[in-house]
Amino acid sequence: MPVIQMREAIRQAMAEEMRRDPTVFLMGEEVAYYDGAYKVSQGMLDEFGPDRVVDTPIAENGFAGLGVGAAMAGMRPIIEFMTFNFSLVAYDQVVNSAAKIYQMSAGQYRVPIVFRGPNGYAENLGAQHSTSVESIYAHFPGLKVVCPSTPGDAKGLLKSAIRDDNPVIFLESELMYAMKGEVPEGEHTIPLGKADTKREGTDLTLVTWGKATHACLRAADELAKEGISAEVLDLRSLRPLDHDAIFGSVAKTHRAVVVHEGHAFAGVGAEISARIMESAFDLLDAPVLRVTQRDVPQPYATNLEKLVILDTPRIAEAARRVMGRS
């Protein structure tokens, strides 16, 4: 299997779907003539032309709304936000239009649209460019929320998202665009709502998604040296959520730590923890713990940033606590 970067896998998914379906097009800031802010759309303008790879003004509310209207009219837009922090400018279009039109029109209009771009912190970008938005969007019925952690998953999930008849929030990571991994060529789709066990284990389950998956894998390596076998369950989709995979893993390990880079208060981790406690309480040998970014706005300074972001030692320590070894 070819080994390529995450940005190349995402580009493959978009280009293959645009070749397959003439209603698919890409729109966003600098996606065309600049080849994308992170070079994700490099070369796509040359292949598909300016009618299908469309540069926009710095006006997220405007081009997100344009995309919703295009989707209602039968197109399948891919809307790239240069960062999902900027999607908050278009929050009304995403939540009050894209998520609700199908129900409000009694099924007369579908909105097959993908909103994609980098989510969460990168490095030295400050508070206004470092927000993890998954809990903001996963809260609303009508939206699907997807968070890939590998290039192969990114391609398969994005192709499925583009084909989906519902609006999909597709959350990437600026720090993962250069990450390399095996990616199948040609037709490769992964169903939305199916988790993936990235590492088998028997003592506890680390439930995670997106960039945090790799911190969990590093923690699992560290814990293995202490005789603790940690399973790493990558949810991949937060809406829909793979309950069977979560409860199945907890039934095997009897302990769970939910790990994500967003904030703890009202985060997706709180929802997952509650569902485990409500539906799998009798399977647990210890309370469910959460490990998240510190509950402060993201600092700019490197020394402060390191104190705030999710890191492997805190994950390992939470695992030791649920094992009674802290």
Instruction: State the catalytic residues.
Output: 60, 129
H helical segments located in 172-211: none
Q: How many residues does the chain have?
A: 326
Q: Which residues contact 286 (CB under 8 A, 6 or more apart)?
A: 254, 255, 321, 322, 323, 324
Measured from the Cβ of residue 279, the count of other Cβ atoms closer than 10 Å reads 13
- Do 167 and 111 meet the contact criterion of CB atoms below 8 Å apart? yes
Q: What is the Cβ-side half-sphere exposure of residue 231, based on CA atoms within 13 angstroms? A: 24
- Quickly tell me which residue has 């994308």 as its tokens: 36
* Segment (H or E) for 207: strand 204-208
**What does 235-259 look like in DSSP terms, one character per residue?**
--EEES--HHHHHHHHHHHS-EEEE
